[in-house]
Amino acid sequence: MYENTFPNKRFKKTIEFLEDVVSPPAKILDLGVENPFSKIMKDHNYQVENTNGEDLDLVTDAVKSSEYDAVTAFEIFEHLVAPFNVLRDIQATKLIATVPLKLWFADAYQNKNDLRDRHFHEFEDWQFNWLLEKAGWEIKKTLKWTNPVGKIGVRPLLRKVTPRYYAVFAERR
């Protein structure tokens, strides 16, 4: 998945944000199958369970349990056609999520060989906030950061100054 492009900066910023808003050993339901960031959360003493790869647009049963202290969704909602459904159905009282922000100078991401590895949404911060609020969440904290790439050109320069990632901590209203 991360051949030659392991997202060290994104993972570092994400774990710092998570630790700032939810302390270990919180019990977390992490949306999406187990992944390298699941291991990072476990290494930071969180109790982490992942969903099983079900289509969260259609099957939201995994989030309908109140046994978790928080639900995390790191780079998940942009892949869903209807993220509102799963956001509305989450029973945990805390949500920590990151999404890639829409970049005016780049097309939405799409892997033509993998139907699950594409972005249906690339949000502007206000759009993601509105989605969360409409689904019953109150935003408590946010953070944006850039994703510079080691290349030369106009787009790489824009990536150094334009926020690419957006993290949100929200609580159920």
What proportion of the chain, given as a percentage, has pLDDT over 90?
73
Q: How far is residue 53's CA from residue 118's CA, in Å, rounded to a whole number?
A: 15
pLDDT of residue 51: 97
Tell me: pLDDT of 102 over 60: yes
What is the arithmetic mean of pLDDT over 51-71? 96
Which residue shows structure tokens 């995994």? 62
Q: Please list the alpha-helical segments (H only) found in the chain.
A: 8-21, 36-43, 83-89, 125-134, 154-161
Q: How far is residue 145's CA from residue 163's CA, in Å, rounded to a whole number?
A: 5
